[in-house]
Amino acid sequence: MGLAVRGRSASRHGALGPVLVDWASRLAGGTARAVRVRLAPLAAWARSSPYLRKWLLLGSAIGVIAGLGAVVFYSALGAATHLLLGDLAGYRIPTPFGEGNSPGSSYFARPWALPLVLGLGGLLSGVLVFSLAPEAEGHGTDAAIEAVHRNPRMIRARVVLVKIVASALTIGSGGSGGREGPTAQISAGFGSLLARALDLSPEDGRVAVSVGIGSGIGAIFGAPLGGAVLAADIVYRDDFEVQALIPGLIASIISYTVFGLIETFSPLFGYVAATYQFHQPLQLAWFALIGLVAGPVGLIYARAFYGTTAIFRRLPANRMLKPALAGLLVGLMALGLPQVLGTGYGWVQRALGPALASMPLWVVLVLPLARIVATSLSIGSGGSGGIFGPGMVIGAFTGAALWRLLEPVAPGVPASPAPFVVVGMMACFGAIARAPLAVMLMVAEMTGSLTLLAPAMVAVGLSYLIVSRTDETIYRSQLKNRVATPAQRLQFGLPMVGGLSVAEALVAPRVVLDEGEPIEEALARLARARVPGSPVTDHEGRFIGTVSKDLLAAEVASRPGANVGRLADPTTPTVQLTDSLEIALEALSGEDGWAPVLGPGRHLEGVLATSDIVRAYGKAIGARMGKLKALPASTSVLNGRVAPGSPLAGHALREPLLPDGCIVVSVQRGSALLFPDGSTVLQPGDLVSVLARPGAVEPVTRLLAGPSQVPLAPGSAPARGANQPLAPRAEPPTMDGQ
């Protein structure tokens, strides 16, 4: 059993000082444990509740936090923009309809100050991120998607707070970034917190973080339907997380309502194309052209962004200084093209109306590439902000450029640039984000242009086809589909693993550390046992986290005499004693390959590794195969439901109630498919699959139906009653009873 346990290096906290970190860790650890104790009844309710009831509560909670988080960041960004760009640099950026529709400044009051302000914003952001939470660098949406696939519990509360401030500094000083990244990380972080506090199953944890992403973005953009679909659409390149759709609808409408009550319900860009009606088939050719151009532009955006990121990572300078250097470069660009500053939504608003015609043609043509460069510098250097918003701005000006070129000479081109600008946003970012449906709906809601969806389908379909042929995406943490997840691959290879419980496979840990144990002693125990990590429990045996030998070795020099409990990582995935091994496989799909097993009250019951699951599975299959070999070739398959009055109800399969020559191969109880053994107790309503010799079919049918079954004379047909199961079908023997 491998015990490679995640840990946080002491180097992350060097700027804060050991004393402050010790105090903060002790306070956070004690608070977290107290919260878990109080939430224990709610955790038990969440794990046992039906899907809709559970997500009505959890989705509502995520929606409230997503809405409030969007308000907090919206206010922080507004204040930072007013102070840094407005007061220090002397420049006011234009704003869209939903934010006041201000025209902004027509000139730079202090042009010399602009690069310095952007450099200052980058410097402050870099110092904050790389001294407190390096995970907060870059765009938060990708980090949240990574958490969905790797470990839904991994997003720390500190990352959320740092992301808010760092992104406000980066974008508020003029850096090119989107505000959706921080809001997505706020609500995804709350979903991660719920997964930890309530010990949600791996599947529920993934849904909670996915729903957080969609509801946060939907709130900040005023697009609840698009946000709900985004929760299910954004985590895979070529697949859809169906389980996140209903929770996403609940969370998104609540987050949108909370944000609207405090800020505004107005669409971000107003109702710019609400009156557009598609009635000229010739226009489909021009919308198709938008798709053919937007697809390659999206590819350029993704490759330029990650190429710039790679270049900055190779630079020998200190990581804290790199965002400052990028800020200076963007500031110099902005002196010639102020349209690259900030979110850019105000400039998109101008492009949607008659003001586009007054912009110099070279500006409109250059802006998509200029925005790509500015965003790659601002965020790819280690700055903090989203890449969703800039992607839509890039797409908007791609459509605007095509309209400026086609409108004077091409027949059938709309008189207003709004349809081209709106469809450009949908096609460019919907394709490269690999979320075409969600982005189409979001842009339609943001612009009040649902009437554009029909022609937009042509553009989005073509752009998506171009991008999908390259397997490229702007979100590198997306997996191709659900089959690409390690847990799903194992589940396909072990099809009946859902019928075995964790209790049948767990093993005793070689080492269990106490929270009060000194680091030096714990390190020695791990070395003697030859394991790289261990669970950590409190004095009452309750699990509080895990530590690795590498982490202890890194901390022993800087904090001699410190206790292990202060280093325990509470984000480690755990499984419950009563979980199925199918659920456990999802928890083991991360980098560690093992998980602590918890019983009632979070008491540590053992540990579980992938090898333990395979061993238990092989043992169960071996026992089953021994029984199947004894069955005759004429075996029939009987599928029947256990009636309330059945003699089998309430009895274990080891009891001699079934006729000789019968094997129960599967029991479906609700949505769970059990892999039964002698200790399995049948319950009324269970759908049972039985392999039976021909002479045993009728007795088994009578046993399942119970005493209401009327005795039959030999050779007579049974009467069809309300409690009588369907007649069995003779089928070849199968292993899974399906």
**From CA 29, how far away is CA 668, in angstroms rounded?**
41
Residues 175/179/184/186 CA torsion (nearest 10 deg): 80
pLDDT over 70 for what percent of the chain? 86
Mean pLDDT of the chain: 83
Angle at 158 between CA 218 and CA 590, to 5 degrees: 80
Per-residue burial over 256-293, b = 16 or more CB atoms within 10 Å of its CB, e = otherwise? bbbbbeebeebbbbbebbeebebeeeebbebbbbbbeb
Contacts of 685 (CB under 8 A, 6+ apart): 641, 642, 669
The Cα–Cα gap between 405 and 349 comes to: 19
Find where tokens 């007013």 sit. 82
Q: How many residues can be counted in the chain? A: 738
pLDDT for 3 equals 40
| CA 230 – CA 225 distance, rounded (Å) | 8
May I ask the CATH class of domain 49-268+281-482?
mainly alpha
498's tokens: 């859902």
CA dist 353 and 338 (Å) reads 19
pLDDT of residue 25: 45
- Can you give the pTM of this predicted structure? 0.79
- Assign a CATH topology to domain 632-707+721-738: Alpha-Beta Plaits (3.30.70)
Every domain of the chain and the residues it spans: 49-268+281-482, 632-707+721-738
| C-alpha span between 424 and 179 (Å, rounded) | 20
The position carrying tokens 């892999």 is: 675
Distances (CA, A) of 636 to 139, 631, 639, 665, 720: 58, 10, 10, 12, 21
Within 10 angstroms of residue 411's Cβ, the number of other Cβ atoms is 10
Report the 3 state secondary structure along 705-732.
Answer: HCCCCCCCCCCCCCCCCCCCCCCCECCC
pLDDT at 493: 56
Closest CA to 564 of 582, 579, 546: 546
CA gap 587, 202 in Å, rounded: 6
Residues of the chain short of pLDDT 50, as ranges, are: 1-29, 709-738
Q: What is the 3-state secondary structure (H, E, C) of 117-180?
A: HHHHHHHHHHHHHHHHCHHHCECHHHHHHHHHHHCCCCCCHHHHHHHHHHHHHHHHCCCCCECH
Looking at residue 490, its pLDDT comes to 60
Amino acid at 548: S
The DSSP element (H or E) to which 663 belongs, if any, is strand 662-669
* Tokens 């997996």 -> residue: 479
SS3 513: strand
Take residue 395 and report the two structure tokens written for it: 């797409």
| Phi and psi torsions of 138, nearest 5° | 75, -150
Instruction: Report d(CA 354, CA 352) in Å as an integer.
Output: 7
